[in-house]
């Protein structure tokens, strides 16, 4: 008989609601309680999805019927709440980045491993058909020997129109480097075994509270493949994110999270046809398989900690302030 798991959610903002719906639709999970520090938002989601809500997340953690807690609050609150979740004995799925510092991420990892709870992170792109096909092409050497990895992110505004909140525009917690880059750091690590940056130049606006407006960075995988990164916020540009793995036969570009394009040796570009799949359902499938001790593809707090180390080094190598 297939077991069904009860889920509690702490943080039901934009991304939190996306996963709430995914858990509600999954045949093996039931969302039975929610919490959000924004009481109005919590009541809105409680009414919309007909769910019990708790004004204090400790009350949610005291509910013995809950098996798994999904944590979707701003990064600087991950550490304290995650430790409470772990100490309550519940399994945890956490938003990225894992924490707001390497030290916090290390403490979360150590506590989760000490408590022997199942821990995972919401890195959903690796469950999309586009990434899985890209990974297959790299492994099969269809594109030949890898010559370079390139990430280019451009945004017409930051935060993006659908993502308007105070923390995501802040230098303390937000910016596209902390919000978007962890996905690609994790993907590079997953495909190539790790990476490190040797140079990073970041431009910040004059207001010290606001996040970056551009970055140029260089690094390598642990195997020595060059990595080039460029990111910018410019109202003259349309939003576009391209992640390209260049081989000596051809190149593959993951575009805007879900499209995959092949650039052949003679310069022709063609989109790779992909099946329609529910990547969030697959993420939940793998988390539950991990929980049950079955083979699974999950990003644990250990990988999340490694992403945090690379992310923090990327920000700290060489931050440039130009007052613009």
Please give the full DSSP string across 208-221, using - where no structure is assigned. Answer: TTB--SEEEEEEEE
Closest CA to 251 of 263, 240, 259, 235: 263
The order of strands in the sheet holding 259-263 is 269-271, 259-263, 251-255, 240-247, 146-155, 226-233, 214-221, 195-204, 319-321
Average pLDDT rounded to a whole number, residues 98-117? 97
Ranking 80-84, 108-112, 276-280, 312-316 by mean pLDDT, the lowest is 312-316
Closest CA to 138 of 153, 152, 148: 148
This prediction's pTM: 0.95
| Torsion angle, alpha carbons of 140, 141, 143, 145, to 10 | 160
Greatest extent of the chain over all pairs of C-alpha atoms, in Å: 62
Residue 134: C-alpha distances to residues 243, 275, 285, 294, 304 (Å): 10, 14, 21, 25, 22
Per residue in 202-259, pLDDT (tens digit) is: 999 999 999 999 999 999 999 999 999 999 999 999 999 999 999 999 999 999 999 9
Render the burial of 52-69: b for 16+ CB within 10 Å, e for the rest.
ebbeebeebbebeebbbb
**pLDDT confidence of 292, banded at 50, 70, 90?**
very high
- Residue reference for tokens 């639709």: 25
Per residue in 261-274, pLDDT (tens digit) is: 999 888 899 999 99
**pLDDT confidence of 320, banded at 50, 70, 90?**
very low
Rounded Cα gap, residues 275 and 129, in angstroms: 7
Closest CA to 215 of 226, 199, 227: 199
Q: Which residues pair with 247 in a beta bridge?
A: 146
**pLDDT confidence of 164, banded at 50, 70, 90?**
confident
Pairing relation of β-strands 259-263 and 269-271?
A: antiparallel
pLDDT at 319 over 90: no
Predicted confidence at residue 1, as pLDDT, reads: 61
**Looking at residue 116, what DSSP letter applies?**
T
**150 three-class SS:** strand
**280 three-class SS:** helix
Report the chain's mean pLDDT, rounded to a whole number. Answer: 95
CA angle 86, 184, 231 (to 5 degrees): 125
pLDDT at 318 over 70: no
Rounded Cα gap, residues 108 and 100, in angstroms: 11
């Amino acid at each position: 008989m297939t077991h069904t798991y009860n889920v509690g959610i702490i943080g039901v903002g934009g991304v939190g609601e996306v996963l709430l719906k995914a858990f509600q639709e999954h045949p093996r999970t039931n969302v039975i309680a929610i919490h959000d520090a924004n009481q109005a938002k919590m009541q809105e989601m409680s009414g919309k999805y007909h769910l019990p809500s708790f004004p204090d997340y400790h009350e949610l953690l005291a509910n013995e019927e809950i098996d798994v807690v999904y944590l979707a609050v701003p990064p600087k609150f991950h550490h304290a709440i995650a430790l409470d979740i772990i100490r309550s004995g519940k399994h945890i799925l956490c938003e990225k980045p894992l924490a707001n510092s390497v030290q916090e991420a290390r403490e979360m990892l150590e506590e989760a491993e000490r408590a022997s709870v199942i821990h995972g992170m919401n890195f959903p792109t690796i469950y999309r058909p586009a990434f899985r096909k890209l990974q297959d092409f790299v492994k099969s050497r269809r594109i030949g020997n890898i010559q370079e990895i390139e990430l280019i992110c451009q945004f017409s505004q930051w935060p993006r129109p659908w993502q308007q909140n105070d923390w995501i525009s802040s230098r303390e917690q937000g910016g596209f480097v902390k919000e978007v880059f962890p996905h690609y750091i994790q993907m590079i690590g997953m495909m190539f075994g790790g990476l490190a940056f040797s140079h990073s130049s970041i431009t910040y606006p004059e207001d010290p509270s606001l996040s970056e407006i551009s970055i140029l960075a260089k690094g390598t995988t642990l195997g020595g493949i060059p990595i080039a990164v460029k990111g910018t916020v410019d109202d003259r540009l349309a939003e576009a994110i391209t992640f390209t793995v260049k081989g000596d036969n051809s190149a593959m570009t993951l575009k805007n999270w879900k499209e995959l394009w092949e650039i052949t040796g003679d310069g022709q570009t063609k989109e790779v046809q992909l099946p329609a799949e529910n990547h969030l359902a697959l993420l939940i499938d793998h988390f539950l398989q991990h929980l049950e001790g079955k083979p699974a593809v999950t990003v644990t707090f250990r990988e999340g900690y490694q992403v945090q180390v690379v992310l923090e080094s990327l920000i700290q190598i060489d931050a440039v302030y130009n007052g613009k």
